[in-house]
Structure 1
Amino acid sequence: MPQNVGPIDSSRTPRYAGRDGFARLPRLDQVGRADIVVAGVPFDTGVSYRPGARFGPNHIREASRLLRPYNPALDVSPFELTQVADAGDIAVNPFDIAEAIETVQSAAYDLTADGTRLVTLGGDHTISLPLLRAAAERHGPVALLHFDAHLDTWDTYFGAEFTHGTPFRRAFEEGILDTEALSHVGTRGPLYGKKDLDDDHRFGFGIVTSADVYRQGVDEVVAKLRDRIGDRPLYISIDVDVMDPAHAPGTGTPEAGGVTSRELLEIIRGFVGLNLIGADVVEVAPAYDHAELTGVAASHLAYDLVSLLALRHRETSAGQPADASALSR
């Protein structure tokens, strides 16, 4: 069996030199195919406040130069276990949201041929709708864990149906979500009215607020979410504004009182063994990211998502169970 092509060795080539792909991994066209691909979607036409997330994918890639090939938190070397590659950016029309959505859906479907898993770097949260459409084409209606300060189940903004605040309402309406296994995590802040929560409940979403994470703790939250998801095909969507602005200032619609980067990473790591089929990390806006705090956090989130997918790949391809200590988190 041919050996996987991994990232550049940072002990031989300085991190500020060499490849500019995620974690300094090879490009997809250099390896032919991959078990896991990372792709960017530089698109922010759907934002309602501060723009700039179109520059997020490369900002995350730049921060990911600091990543190392062994993940001690999950006890895995994902780039040895699986072939991971950077597919570059999906080029979308910045002036036509409908066309952009179609482009992302088609590209995501093509990238996930032959069982390849996709981790997408955004871009604003509008892109989650076409990514979920492509995932549902492959797997049927999917379970969703949505990490965000906001619900993103609003109906329209200024009459527009496709924005970064509406993707999961559209996904519900299109029947591509498993309504028995939907959860928001980290929500907080003011709403337009109580009807926002009533609508959200009608769609099937459970809510774990940032205050719940603080009061209940990571382990209890993870246990509840795992129980809700079971072994359903799972998609994870992370808006970096789920973190407090102290940890992620570089985003378009910050809200006070968010989770810490440590809490968020520990929650994600608690999903070892679940049937994860894809994920995205969105709403990184580098223009507001002093000291690159948001880019660093986003790169680690993407790295842990890749690690979870690598562990799942090993489990399904070789029949090896995921690490029991990680499962007991």
Structure 2
Amino acid sequence: MFLILRNVNLRRAVVSPSFGAAADFFSSQPPQTRTLHRNKRGGVCTSPNRKCSGRPYNVPPSAEFVARVSGIPTMAKLPHQETADGLDAAFVGVPIDTGTSNRPGARFGPRQIRVESALLRAYNSGTRAAPYESLMVADIGDVNVNVYDLKDTIAYPILQAVAEKNGPVGLVHVDAHADTSDVVLGEKIGHGTPFRRCVEEGLLDCSRVVQIGLRGSGYSPDSYEWSRAQGFRVVQAEECWFKSLAPLMAEVRGQMGSGPVYLSFDIDALDPGFAPGTGTPEIAGLTPIQGVEIIRGCRGLNLVGCDLVEVSPPYDTTGNTALTGANLLFEMMCVLPKVKYY
């Protein structure tokens, strides 16, 4: 699992010991490390001695000058730092899969996503977003997880931390599965139960929850009855076939309003023909284009954090699932509040 989080104080442990890990996430201190400058002619420069703006940001090295295969793999070749001090947003890896119900291997997801992210560049050519001219961002490494604890769920403790700061939040949940089971194999905490636990604890504003891409065989005739009963908007994969999701996302933006929103994207929302490296694949899913439309459709929302989960590299030796995940994370960064667009 990979996270992009902002405006959450790093001093708060968001994965409690009972969940097998202790994780601290980011803060929003004034940026104060590296520099990117834009000169009057619009050219990017990295030397503070030139006549540029002087505002400091972390900027990944361009593959025009530094070979992608060189250096230590960090997310998008950003600098690594131990804490989120001075950052507007941070990339955090959570290498855990001990509670998976089917195929393991997601513990290797953050590492492989970092490797594949070397292909990312500084600007979003599709939207003209310039995140590295807008936000101080760094890779702050991985959570030191307890791989012997079998209670594996990430979204639940993260949303506990987010709600502690922001109150109940809206949720854009992109997934093949609703993750709203009550008990699985006698356990109430697992990767199929987090959003039911979140509702029970009042972490979600249920009128501002949308689940997109749900599909597959189920344990009952209507697998999503509970979600609808809570007030969630459920968009099954069948409603997404053969169409652009831009109109849907216009409706979602209206539903979410100006309140805080969390974006959770399970890679298995995509059809396994595009993203086979995952633990619980379901056929007839979304396309990568639709995945990008969903994320870009979140521009303008008050996003307080994002995650990309369930990338399992052993089930895709081509690396394409991790590459797709890296690009989706970049798209998420581009829609964070205050990102500059040309």
TM-score per shorter chain, which class?
0.7 to 0.9
Whose Rg is larger?
2
1:75-131 deviation per Cα after TM superposition (whole angstroms, max 9, x unaligned): 112112111100100111112256xxxxxxxxxxxxxxxxxxxxxxxxx7x211111
| RMSD between aligned residues | 1.8
Q: Which of 21, 26, 36 in structure 1 is aligned with 2:89?
A: 36
Q: Tell me what 2:335 maps to.
A: 308
Which residue matches 1:79? Answer: 132
Whether 2:78 is the aligned partner of 1:51: answer: no
Instruction: With the length of structure 2 as denominator, give the TM-score of the two structures.
Output: 0.81
Give the equivalent residue in structure 2 for 1:20.
73
Structure 1 residues 266 and 197: CA distance shift in structure 2, 3 A: closer
CA distance in 2, matches of 1:46, 1:29: 27
Q: TM-score, normalised by structure 1?
A: 0.84
Structure 2: how far apart are the matches of 1:30 and 1:79?
A: 19
Whichever residue aligns with residue 313 of structure 1, its letter is K
Cα distance in 1 for residues equivalent to 2:223 and 2:213: 16
Alignment-derived partner of residue 257 in structure 1: 284
Question: Secondary structure, in 3 states, of the residue corresponding to 1:143?
Answer: strand
- 1:63 is matched with 116
Does residue 9 in structure 1 map to residue 62 in structure 2?
yes
Corresponding residue to 2:148 among 82, 90, 95: 95
Task: Give the alignment partner of residue 201 of structure 1, picking from 215, 220, 228.
Answer: 228
Q: Which has the higher helix share?
A: 1
Which amino acid in 1 is paired with 2:98?
Answer: T
Shift in CA distance, 218/161, structure 1 to aligned 2, threshold 3 Å = same
* Separation of aligned partners in 1, 2:93 and 2:135: 20
Alignment partners' CA distance in 1, 2:326 and 2:154: 18
How many residue pairs get matched?
A: 289
| C-alpha distance in 2 between matches for 1:134 and 1:165 | 20
State the Cα deviation string for residues 226-247 of structure 1 (Å, max 9, x = none): 1211112110000000000011
Measured against aligned partners, the alpha-carbon deviations of 1:45-69 in whole angstroms (never above 9, x if no partner) come to 1210001101100111111000000
Matching residue of 2:9: none
Contact 1:186 1:209 in 2 (8 A): yes
User: CA contact under 8 A between 2:168 and 2:205: conserved in structure 1?
Assistant: yes
Q: 1:275 to 1:32 in 2, by over 3 A?
A: closer
Task: Report whether the alignment pairs 1:147 with 2:174.
Answer: yes
Q: After the TM superposition, which parts of structure 1 deviate over 3 Å for at least 4 consecutive aligned residues?
A: 29-32
Distance 1:63 1:139 in 2: 33
Q: Distance in 2 between matches of 1:128 and 1:30?
A: 21
Q: Aligned in 2, Cα 1:19/1:31: closer, same or farther, shift over 3 Å?
A: farther
Give, in whole Å, the separation in 1 of the partners of 2:285 and 2:198.
25
Residue in structure 2 matched with residue 287 of structure 1 by the alignment = 314
Q: Residue 263 of structure 1 aligns to a residue in which SS?
A: helix
1:156 counterpart = 2:156:
no
8 Å Cα contact 1:248/1:297 also seen in 2: yes
| Identical-pair percentage | 41
Separation in 2 of the partners of 1:216 and 1:247?
17
